Structure 1
């Protein structure tokens, strides 16, 4: 199973969970639910560490590259991410109300595991600090690292980031298929799985279409500035798109994204600067996925959704996901604290969000890296260069 990629393992875990839920071996299911409870509590404990480990070093590293191009690229990337999230909000506000069943018809209670099987034991793991405390500390430390330009705190936070990344890659990611199997086994046993999967298949369809729409918008803007054909520009970026689907990592796709951006005629120096930077700060596809999935979960559970609340969530996503690790699921891991503090998600809902996001992670990452090429084209133009295809 380890030889399989993450997405096949997640799908296998989902299938196994459904089968076990259909079989209905209650003692086995309660063991799985016990594991899910412990694992979910551990995830809640790690959330503040994830925020500190990702956001502080990310902001500090950006500060080191201070300059006009950094400011331009950062504003463009952040603006693109906010526009993508807002597009997802307004689209889903209209479409989800038409395709989703009423909350009372879908899931009883306020979360997808209410009334389901309970575990044998529960291990309490309170976080060392609250989510907002962790966010504020991350911002202060990150800005401080950038201003002071010292190495002591910077090296310390980089080591924290390495530790957190190891926790994600060696503990959280490997156990996620088992975790997801437990979630779907419990839901299947309670008879909710058919409704949930049929609903989210439609949500995923909306997400994919929104990815393509935002890419078309990004390259239409870029193409109009440089006099290029947006479809031709997108077509040359397709190798990066499909590579990202396979790797599920913006960082791992950088070499291909860089090569295809240069193939579009972007100056080598501009491409070398913007693509690695955008791989960590430009997350339009991931934002669309997170906003769409969170809105669907909230609607299904009868939770109130307002533009002011969701827009604040989108604004914070653009910052919190900075320097999310180049591993599958990095964006949703970085966003867990916001889901909890700003949208009111409990452990069960964050568990469902992880499962839903990771099934779409490949396509969100592919949208991110393909859009990086459009940002590079715009920066290339603003820097005074013309597209010169080689």
Structure 2
């Protein structure tokens, strides 16, 4: 039975866990709240293993990489930035077509939003030069990547035994990750049971229109915009890849509500898809930090909902500037649950709102966070794999085309 559980269809098992969690919470809310322990343990285990996995995998991949091999990172980063900006434009358009109203009377929480885009970029810069032990302990993936890349480059000149040791340790941690992921159905059961038993979604009814705009924009990006970007990149039907990423990455991200916690799941999916380890070992943790299409949508929609509520007129130039600010802000959003909400005051400042009003908008975001943050994380995390795969496929297609041209030239010479 254990062997069948470990080798079964993980997506089907997760769906069964989700249904079981809903049933448990409806039958006994107290039991549903108690089951929260299962979800907390699962998410904590993912967060615990992810920083070590990223550090070892990136270091080992760079140290053992052969000179001249292609990493495709330039294409991945371009897709990340293009996808986030396109998502911000979609959010602005959706907000104009379906304006939402807020009740700006919620008390401001004890939060500490950044004071401007410069502060966001400054924070990112200091994260790069963070102490490596502290970066791993805090889950600072920008710092982890910086140290892993630096150590990997220096270890390229190490002996073969050292490289083999790094590779073996990295493989061992990857095995632990695969075991943790197999317990996702039990973790999802606990997360769903807690959510249904605690909120019952009753508090969301008053913001149903706002949620429809938010989730609708995210679905449009996931099912229309992203496939279009991928099609223009790989020149073939993108939907099989899109649905695979949504099914095997988006579902777990929806319930964990943390891009950082979903890093092991995404790396496992990239390995299953046969992508280049040199690419995904860097692009996946980097995407969990800067590829934030869902965060850009959240920042834009909630900011414009406040603008509409206050009756402020917005011209096209300001709307485009908001898209740029949302894109930059989203790239600096924290990879934890609700991280994008603290960037909303940046966008609100464009329209002259006071900090008190902006923090009331943030409070609304926390009220609807059980749905908003889940959908946002699912879009963010699944897109990391989608764009990484698209960049790898496009690069492989170019290599095959070059090989075909070389073969044709050789035949002509013969």
1:166 & 1:350 partners in 2: Cα distance? Answer: 31
Q: Contact conserved, 2:22 with 2:193, CA < 8 A, in 1?
A: yes
**TM-superposed deviation, 1:207:** 1.1
Out of 187, 200, 204, the position equivalent to 1:179 is 187
* 1:134 equivalent in structure 2: 144
Unaligned runs of 5+ in 2: 111-133, 250-268, 304-321, 343-365, 409-414
Residue equivalent to 1:326: none
Per mean C-alpha deviation after superposition, the further-off stretch among 92-101 and 51-60 is 92-101
Change (3 A) 1:243 1:387: farther
Which residues of 2 match residues 87-126 of structure 1 at below 5 A?
87-92=86-91, 94-95=93-94
Q: Is the 8 A contact 2:62 2:149 kept in 1?
A: yes
Q: TM-score, normalised by structure 1?
A: 0.57
Q: Distance in 2 between matches of 1:53 and 1:242?
A: 30
Q: Report Cα offsets for 1:336-378 as digits up to 9, x if no partner.
A: xx614994799x9899978875699778746643553323334
Counterpart CA distance in 2 for 1:12 and 1:215 is 31
Q: Please name the residue that 1:52 is paired with.
A: 55
Task: Measure the CA separation in 2 of the matches of 1:44 and 1:279.
Answer: 18
How many residues in Structure 1 have an aligned counterpart in Structure 2? 305
C-alpha separation in 1, matches of 2:47 and 2:40: 11
Deviation at 1:8, TM superposition (A): 1.9
Q: Which residue of 1 aligns with 2:272?
A: 252
1:85 Cα deviation from its structure 2 partner: 3.8
Between structure 1 and structure 2, the one with the greater Rg is: 2
Find the counterpart in structure 2 of residue 70 from structure 1.
Answer: 70
Unaligned runs of at least 5 residues, structure 1: 112-125, 220-229, 258-274, 314-337
Q: CA RMSD in A?
A: 5.1
> Match for 1:155 among 144, 157, 164?
164
Rounded Cα–Cα distance in structure 1 between residues aligned with 2:8 and 2:290? 24
| 1:19 corresponding residue in structure 2 | 23
Counterparts of 1:156 and 1:104, CA distance in 2: 58
Alignment correspondent of 1:79: 78
The aligned residue for residue 369 of structure 1 is 389
Give the match's secondary structure for 2:70. Answer: helix
Deviations 1:149-201 (A, max 9, x none): 43344333323322322222102x12222222222222222122876996646
Quick one: which of 212, 216, 224 aligns to 1:209? Answer: 224
- In structure 2, C-alpha distance between the alignment counterparts of 1:25 and 1:342, rounded to whole Å: 25
Aligned with residue 11 of structure 2, among 7, 11, 23? 7
Pairing 1:307–2:310 present: no
**Contact conserved, 1:241 with 1:370, CA < 8 A, in 2?**
no
SS in 2 for 1:339: coil
Cα distance in 2, alignment partners of residues 342 and 58 from structure 1: 32
